[in-house]
Amino acid sequence: MSLLPSLLSPSDITLRNNIQIFGKGEETILLAHGFGCNQNMWRFITPYLEEHYTIVLFDYVGSGTSDVSTYQAERYRSLEGYALDIIEICDALELSQVLYVGHSVSATIGHIVAIQRPDLFKALVMVCPSPCFLNIDQHYSGGFEQSDLEELLNLMDKNYIGWGTYLAPLVMGVTDTMEEPEQEVSDTLVQELLTSFCSTDPTYSKPFAKATFLSDYRHLLMDIKQPCLIIQSEHDALVPVEVGYFMQSQIPDAKLDIINGKGHCLHMTYPLKILNSIQNFMAHTS
């Protein structure tokens, strides 16, 4: 899909995507949040990263505290529109050869950017990624039947709060067998995610949800040339571990790290494990 770039100045793009820059390192790390989230959800790992990297945070248009007046319905009907956000952010900040870290759908958005503009990324880290959430055939199971996902999307129209209330605990990996301290932390994070979901206007979140859950970008994987780290959760209700193995088999230069943990937001629930995984990966990436 070919999309026209925005005719915005670098300062306008900074405001559009609520770009925040901090840190001390010579290398730059770009952190891209997942669907229904915002840049604040990286806060559990940024205190450790800022000693070694210059960190760039942002919100996709329609998410967080981005400038929703710049929202273009046609552009953001597909993940290519969000990829264009990232390309424009990098160009506005004159970035190249950055370490890109994408959570969930932002991993796929990063794949699009890596292929369209290979100069921008030195390496990619994917936290709980999935190139396709759908069960396709006996060779690929993304975790969901299309009818189930369509029903979930329709719930956004019928009962937006109910949709968020159902999805947030699922994403965070809440179970009935948690010990009390873990349960308290999980409940706090579930409430944060629910607040993030429900504070986003469905005008923006539903097209993003459709682009996230009903798309199939498996065909891109073999064309990614940069070194990649795939970080999968051992117990993720949204993405089966088998998806991680599939991605590793398709990406030419990929390492898979399966984290012993629960949920789809490992950077929030197991930040030190994610940090160690990234550090080990970068130590062996030239």
Any idea which residues carry the catalytic annotation?
A: 104, 236, 264
Residues contacting residue 246 through CB under 8 Å, at least 6 positions apart: 140, 218
Within 10 Å of residue 284's Cβ, how many Cβ atoms? 9
Length of the chain, in residues: 286
Are 54 and 28 contacting, i.e. CB atoms less than 8 angstroms apart? yes
Residues contacting residue 90 through CB under 8 Å, at least 6 positions apart: 30, 96, 98, 117, 120
How far apart (Å, rounded) are the C-alpha atoms in residues 100 and 58?
12
Are 242 and 106 contacting, i.e. CB atoms less than 8 angstroms apart? no
How far apart (Å, rounded) are the C-alpha atoms in residues 99 and 114?
11
